[in-house]
Amino acid sequence: MPGKARAKILVVLHQEHSSAGRVGHVLIENGFDLDIRRPPLGDNLPETLAGHAGAVVFGGPMSANDHDEFVRRETDWLTVPLKENRPFLGICLGAQMLVNHLGGKVEGHGDGLVEIGWYPIKATEEGRKLMHWPEMVYQFHREGFSLPKDAVLLASSDTYPNQAFRYGDNAWGIQFHAELTRVMMQRWVVRGAERFVLPGAQPGRDHLGGRLIWDMHLKRWLDEFLVTIFGQGEGSKGVRE
């Protein structure tokens, strides 16, 4: 007899060659299949998540405040996971779309500072109750977000105070990037080099050098974080160290 079908996670990406990276790897190892959609390229989003175990909306070079049709469509679509109380994770742009949907603000730093490279974060008391958090995380953003009304702050930093939050039982947003494989980070460093001159940004060599020091801790956190949000699906192999 055929085995039981694996549950699907909806994965929303924003460029033709974007990848779910390590988030995708961990979800697959945890027993899920990925249903990848790219709204900027014309892919639709499901009217319900009844056929999915949850959803992840990733980052991208655009702003959550842009007036592109797909940005508005994705932001409005967040009604679906929120209304159905399905597990949802927004990463960088995805988190900022969630904030806009919930009536918060997405904007740049008052002094023009960016976070591009490795920066310290600190878990709040609520965050520490959930899990152990890394001391350093990888960032690549010029805008941050306010904390939505009734959301719980889980981690903070000095330059952009709101780094991770939970809204309700099942909606989560993080500003930083734990999904990058080594190849993805190398590609970002090459293609994003013009941003390294922005105030507060780190040179490319520090991105790759910092990975050797801090990435192991960030990956361990990601493994635990994804299980906290999505649990484990049918046929989970567990997560490799």
- Contact between 226 and 23 under an 8 Å Cβ cutoff? The reply is yes
Tens-digit pLDDT profile for residues 35-79: 999 999 999 999 999 999 999 999 999 999 999 999 999 999 999
What is the reported pLDDT for 113?
Answer: 97
Tens-digit pLDDT profile for residues 173-208: 999 999 999 999 999 999 999 999 999 999 999 999
Separation of first and last alpha carbons in the chain: 32
Phi, psi at residue 12, to the nearest 5°?
Answer: -110, 115
Give me the residues paired with residue 120 across strands: 136
Q: Tokens at residue 10, please?
A: 């909806």
Q: How confident is the model at residue 233 (pLDDT cuts 50, 70, 90)?
A: confident
DSSP 146-173: PPPTT-EEEEE-SSSS--EEEETTTEEE
CA-based nearest residue to 173, from 118, 95, 240, 108: 95
| Helix, strand, coil shares, percent, the chain, to 5 | 35, 20, 45
Q: How confident is the model at residue 236 (pLDDT cuts 50, 70, 90)?
A: low
